[in-house]
Structure 1
């Protein structure tokens, strides 16, 4: 599809410059607070991942200006872009962060971004660098970055994802850039240049799914977004319409965009409110969750034990099978993109939290044996029904000859039509915080995030996430 003539960059600039906190609906604010609770918990859980510890060591070794602290690491501070790299990678380290929703039946699920980590990371890091940022200003910057990121992703053609780009790394760069630019007060040419710099820095390819580099895509999106805004603030220049034209972001990265969708414009309505955002129940690729819920239902309904299972047959379309690509996972990162591993985990543990995603467990005898007895089958009938829903079927053959069948519920648990309750969201936050921030500080942090735009102390919030406020080294 050839891109129609457009002025999307200019429209984005008008939206960023002209939108105020008062323009945000109460629905958008309420959902934004939920997304922040979810993301802050993930910073804490991610801070203990091996990949993030390597990035922390690297950032501290590089040194430099003491702009911002690092999650779960105490008082040490590093330059803002390095801090953003670490925070962003921590937020995506478990692949448990939220996902934008689309109602377009032709849209490819993988083209949707994980929208909260880039703008929230950039906003928190720049707020730490600047000091004196209010919770309302932070919320506005977050919402603007979230919206621009999601609309770019929604308007992109599926070719972007199908050719191997990772949208959360590419499009996420714009979410981080917008949030950082808003808090830095960029407007006009400097805001346009920030978006132009971001367009050239955006990167991330799907070959690295199932490795440490997959969450680094989001970390780099955050780092690059902060870098783009800081450079533009100093007068660094780029093409002022980098989303548009023959060599613009849409054309080069996705061979165009959907002109009819783009005519809707930014903020009409805000994506965070409609069609909404999904908060993940499991720390794995979003395409896996309905199937995991189906297996959990099958296991509990039949009180199925692992030792009773002869074989598991998983039937799905290409929209699941192609990206969820590991036939047998050897470590916890591969397990996030392996249906045999995820189904085996549910059978063995009857849950799948970040506590189950450990290398020793995934590589253990029980998981390896059950994965080897699980076959993944591309079902042409499921493909023929289209990709507007994530459809799959599980058939378990037991050693005593029974065949147990369970279709996945097409309503996504965690999505707008079947949302996670506030109580369950708080439970996820506490599970993520466990062992990193406990007791009174954990309770205080949750309260600060839930009231972020109602007078919360942003500096205190950052200090609690980093561990500076609790004296952790």
Structure 2
């Protein structure tokens, strides 16, 4: 099937023409929730070892004082370097939100983590520009979110199956679109920004479970900002880089779904329909139903760790292939290891970012229980298809019982079973703990909750970066 020749032009028209007044009320409500979630994740991620390395590197490089860094105080660095750090921090715990699709031909790994790239690019460019209103920030975020999600939705699953990491590849377009909107790029310059983004897009799944996985998103943010800034200076690229024989869709995924693409951008906005999932656990989204199933099994049976003889986990290839570590040796591998995640639930009855510590994951209890966990590809589950995340857990106890729990196919955190506003705030506070004080947590929450009404978002950026001295961190 030939690739439609007007996808880039459609994107340009959508970015140029969409105004704040075009955004439906539900999009604004969900957008604020996504922002609360993401801002918390910047704070939590700012303490990660990978992010500290990137902060040190950015400060050592120096350059124009465009934007601060999360949790790093008042020093500022060039916009592109700031975007790299903010984006990596937002994805560092693999706890950021996930796009939803109802296409039964889709695979979950093809869906992107949509909020970090456009929000990062918008915040960094806003810092560079100076006074930017919350309405303009929200508009840029929503536009980047939509462009990113529609490109991801229209791509064929081969993109992910070939090993591309969609949040790194497609995320670049989300960042570029958001940055371009705030920079007021139009026409050819806007098309050139998307063309540059198409060549910059990168990220391969072999690096899942390492520091480089969240850096994919950091680089998407960095490259999206660079694409918009260079295009604004007059740097040229192919003005139809998404389309045609050698365009992004063809080269990166051998095509797209032309019928879905004909619906166009914003019809409806993805953030509204089919929506977005806010993640309950800091691990790959493919793991969450199974973790909830294990938690239910543990609580329903008041199962103690010493009562577990063996765990058998049954799932299809859509879970087993990307969640690939048979035994996790560190917290990054644990995010992609069903034995580690199930063991964590048994041992702790929860899995927050505080449990994802190298010392705990490498400890005797975690290593022993992981070794007694079997991951089994169930062909019957495979045959049901990959439109939902399906799995079954069987626990053999030391007294000879076999406890069985199927995962609930309704995703907790998704539009049909969302995390409550209270739960979202609890997650934010957990992320902010130890990074900014209680008073500034409340101030930051209030700013993001009413971001559309904020005349100048610079104080929001200062609170995340730690420019404002914490009250009681």
TM-score using structure 1 length? 0.99
Residue by residue over 1:150-178, the C-alpha shift from the partner in whole angstroms, topping out at 9 and shown as x without a partner, is 00000001110000000000000000000
Runs of 4 or more, structure 1, over 4 Å off, are none
Q: Is the 8 A contact 1:74 1:471 kept in 2?
A: no
Q: How far off its partner does 1:6 sit?
A: 2.5
Q: Which residue of the partner structure matches residue 245 of structure 1?
A: 244
**Mapping of residues 22-421 of structure 1, within 5 Å:** 22-421=21-420
Residue by residue over 1:86-118, the C-alpha shift from the partner in whole angstroms, topping out at 9 and shown as x without a partner, is 000000000000000000011011000000000
SS in structure 2 opposite 1:469?
Answer: coil
**Mapping of residues 412-451 of structure 1, within 5 Å:** 412-451=411-450
Q: Is the 8 A contact 1:312 1:394 kept in 2?
A: yes
Q: Is the 8 A contact 1:448 1:457 kept in 2?
A: no
Q: How far off its partner does 1:3 sit?
A: 3.0
Distance 1:239 1:389 in 2: 38
SS in structure 1 opposite 2:451?
Answer: coil
Distance 1:385 1:245 in 2: 34
Q: How far off its partner does 1:439 sit?
A: 1.4
Distance 1:92 1:291 in 2: 21
Q: How far off its partner does 1:132 sit?
A: 1.1
Distance 1:179 1:427 in 2: 28
Distance 1:3 1:85 in 2: 35
Q: How far off its partner does 1:233 sit?
A: 0.5
Q: How far off its partner does 1:438 sit?
A: 1.8
Residue by residue over 1:270-322, the C-alpha shift from the partner in whole angstroms, topping out at 9 and shown as x without a partner, is 00000000000000000000000000000000000010000000000000000
Residue by residue over 1:20-55, the C-alpha shift from the partner in whole angstroms, topping out at 9 and shown as x without a partner, is 000000000000000000000000000000000000
Residue by residue over 1:424-460, the C-alpha shift from the partner in whole angstroms, topping out at 9 and shown as x without a partner, is 0000000000000121111000110111111253000
Distance 1:265 1:185 in 2: 22
Q: Is the 8 A contact 1:202 1:221 kept in 2?
A: yes
SS in structure 2 opposite 1:394?
Answer: strand
SS in structure 1 opposite 2:468?
Answer: helix
Residue by residue over 1:241-293, the C-alpha shift from the partner in whole angstroms, topping out at 9 and shown as x without a partner, is 00001100000000010000000100000000000000000000000000000
Q: How far off its partner does 1:71 sit?
A: 0.1
Distance 1:307 1:471 in 2: 42
Distance 1:170 1:3 in 2: 22
Distance 2:231 2:16 in 1: 15
Distance 2:138 2:469 in 1: 25
Q: Is the 8 A contact 1:111 1:161 kept in 2?
A: yes
Q: Is the 8 A contact 1:92 1:117 kept in 2?
A: yes
Q: Is the 8 A contact 1:12 1:148 kept in 2?
A: yes
Q: How far off its partner does 1:470 sit?
A: 1.8
Q: How far off its partner does 1:471 sit?
A: 6.5
Distance 1:117 1:338 in 2: 24
Distance 2:400 2:437 in 1: 48
Distance 2:223 2:446 in 1: 30
Distance 1:471 1:113 in 2: 33
Q: Is the 8 A contact 1:296 1:347 kept in 2?
A: yes
Residue by residue over 1:325-376, the C-alpha shift from the partner in whole angstroms, topping out at 9 and shown as x without a partner, is 0000000000000000000000000000000000000000000000000000
Q: How far off its partner does 1:5 sit?
A: 2.9
Distance 1:294 1:156 in 2: 31
SS in structure 2 opposite 1:390?
Answer: coil
Q: Is the 8 A contact 1:103 1:275 kept in 2?
A: yes
SS in structure 1 opposite 2:4?
Answer: coil
User: Over aligned residues, Cα RMSD in angstroms?
Assistant: 1.0
